[in-house]
Structure formats: structure tokens, C-alpha cells
Structure 1
């Protein structure tokens, strides 16, 4: 299960995943362009002065000039310049994409695992009871939004294993994860 059943939450997840892919693609393009600009200093053919995505001609000129200065300072030959171009392009890609993956990917994986576990628990009676218990430990105002019964009644129904209360509480937990449309 990769996406929630609730339309709003599913839309946010899809938009977030799309934004992450776009971010990766943009930095990949920027890294390739930077590699070309740094790796080809001294050549001023129009096709060599490609613009960096979203940054425009000023940044392109700056990177090209920086590549030229680095090439002039480097030992003779193209091997050091090419190595520098690869290193710079790799850093330009790895740093922003690494930060994104460090922040976004663990949350996405955690939600996927929680959703799979909750689905598995919801399939059994004991599992639904455990989901109901999880719902009971949520803040009282959150429980009040999802159920008509008061918190005392919910706790009492859970202790007495009232099937209706257990089902309502389990549904609260499933809704919290975005796995129930109701």
C-alpha cells in the first residue's frame, strides 16, 4: 500500500512524491549542465553554454568562468579538469538530493509500513482490538472528532470488549492513517 484511501491525504502524498521526483530531476539536470560547463572551459561554442535549469544565463556564465579559472589553475592536461568536473557535478547532485532523501524518504517508508501493519491488524479480531487500544491513547479532542461517544464510554467499551466500540475505535485509528474513507 503506497497511498492512503482518503482523497485529500492521497493527493498530498502524490504531490509530495511528484515534487520529490521533480527535485531529483532538476538537480540531476543542474549537475549534468555544471559538468559540461566545468569540463569544457575555454570553448565558447553556443552549444557549450547551456543554461542551468531555473538559474538562467548569469549563473551559466558564472559557472563557465569559474570552470575556466579552475582549468587555468589546474596542471596541464584535461584529466584533472575532468576529475574536478565530475567531483563538482557529483557534489551538486548528492547534497540537495541527499538532504531531500534524508528528510522525505524515512517518513514515506514509515507511513507505508504503518499502513501495511494496520491493514493486517484490521483483518483479525485481535488486531482490531489492538487498533482500538491505539486509538484510545490518542488525545481526547482527536477522539471526540471521530466518535459520538465520550472518552469514558469508549474506555469502558474497550475494557468490556464491546464489538461496536472496538469497531469504532479501530476505525478511528484507520482514519488517522488515511486508510478509511469514512
Structure 2
């Protein structure tokens, strides 16, 4: 495939369009990353809840271990303190669930902020670039094979009525007669329109 035109003016526009598409994509990647980081700051309460749950669980666990040493009532007292340890575990689980929800939200928010603008670029810019590349490659191949008559025929069928009227003489008649000047002139127009040097 031929990705860029031979003509400098068209080449400049293609390079600018490619750089613009790249800048658009990179900008949205940066915006999406920053937005994801901003959402991740919301995990602080979940982290605090999880830490508090750990501390509570550790405190009740240590208290239950010491309570077991108390004669007569130590076992029952330790069992009551173990329930407090279980409550700490519940707090820890709740904090971790909140952190996980925030992380998941941040991830999908980042993906969406990248995917939507990227899809826009892929739907608008990429088909135009691919169409140019295919047409230019075929036009160059026909030029290199000396198939100027086919290029001239394509020019005849795609030129505007104004361009056909401005063409010296009757281009259709010249093409039918295989007049070299007419065929070359029409083929050159088609090649230039395809971004290929005649």
C-alpha cells in the first residue's frame, strides 16, 4: 500500500491529518488516565474502613487471648471478645469491597474515555487513509505496468462535467482512438487525483 501522496501539497495535508489523529488519541489517553486517577482518590474511605477493621480485629484478638488467662470466666469473656474480632473482619471486608468498586469504576471510566474518542478517529480518519492507500497503490501499479488506457478510462468516468468541458477536444473520442496525448493527459489527471506522480 502507498500511505502518502507524491504531490507535496497533499503529502503535507496527510501528514498533518495523521499528526492530528495521533495528538487527539494521546490527549484523550492523558485525559482518561487523569480522570481514572481522580476516581481512584475516592478509595480513601474504603482504605480507612479496611484499616479500621484490621485494627479492631487485632485489638479484639489480643484482648480475647488475654481474657482466656482469666480464671473461671476467661473462656466466656474470650468468646464475647471474639465476636468483636468478627465485627472487625466485617468492617475490613466492607472496606475492601468499596476499594474494589472504586478501582473497577476507575478502570472502566478510563477505558470508556479512551475508547469513545479512539472509535471516532477509527471511524472517520482510518477509512479515509485506507481508501487513499488502496487507490494510490492500484494507480501506481497501473502506471508502472503501462496501463495508462485504464487510468484514462477511469478519469473519463470520474471527471466532473466542468473538467470534461474544459478538456481540449473530445476526450472520449481521443480515448477511443487511443490518441497518446489524450490518454496520457487523462491518465495524468487520474494519477494526480490518486496522489501518485504521473
Structure of greater relative contact order (alpha carbons < 8 Å, 6+ residues apart): 2
Report what 2:41 is aligned to: 40
Deviation (angstroms), 1:130: 0.6
Deviation (angstroms), 1:82: 0.3
TM-score scaled by length of structure 2: 0.68
Report what 2:112 is aligned to: 91
- Structure 2 CA distance, aligned partners of 1:158 and 1:15? 37
1:36 match: secondary structure: helix
**Structure 2: any 5+ residue segments left out of the alignment?**
45-93
CA shift digits 1:52-102 (9 cap, x unpaired) = xxxxxxxxxxxxxxxxxxxxxxx6321111000000010011011111111
Which one has the largest radius of gyration?
Answer: 2
Q: What is the number of residues matched between the two proteins?
A: 145
TM-score scaled by length of structure 1: 0.74
- Structure 1 CA distance, aligned partners of 2:165 and 2:103? 63
- Judged with a 3 Å threshold, the aligned counterparts in structure 2 of structure 1 residues 119 and 144 are, in CA distance, closer, same or farther, namely farther
Higher mean C-alpha deviation, range 16-25 or range 28-37: 28-37
Could you list the structure 1 runs, at least 4 aligned residues long, displaced by more than 3 angstroms after superposition. Answer: none
- Judged with a 3 Å threshold, the aligned counterparts in structure 2 of structure 1 residues 42 and 86 are, in CA distance, closer, same or farther, namely closer
Report what 2:177 is aligned to: 160
Question: Any residues of structure 2 matched to 1:49-68 within 5 Å, and which?
Answer: none
- Structure 1 CA distance, aligned partners of 2:129 and 2:43? 45
CA contact (8 A) 2:43 2:103 kept: no
- Judged with a 3 Å threshold, the aligned counterparts in structure 2 of structure 1 residues 144 and 13 are, in CA distance, closer, same or farther, namely farther
CA shift digits 1:118-148 (9 cap, x unpaired) = 00011123x2111000111121323466x5x
Deviation (angstroms), 1:174: 0.6
CA shift digits 1:28-70 (9 cap, x unpaired) = 0011111111012266xxxxxxxxxxxxxxxxxxxxxxxxxxx
The alignment status of 1:27 with 2:28, answered yes or no, reads yes
- Out of 131, 143, 165, the position equivalent to 2:151 is 131
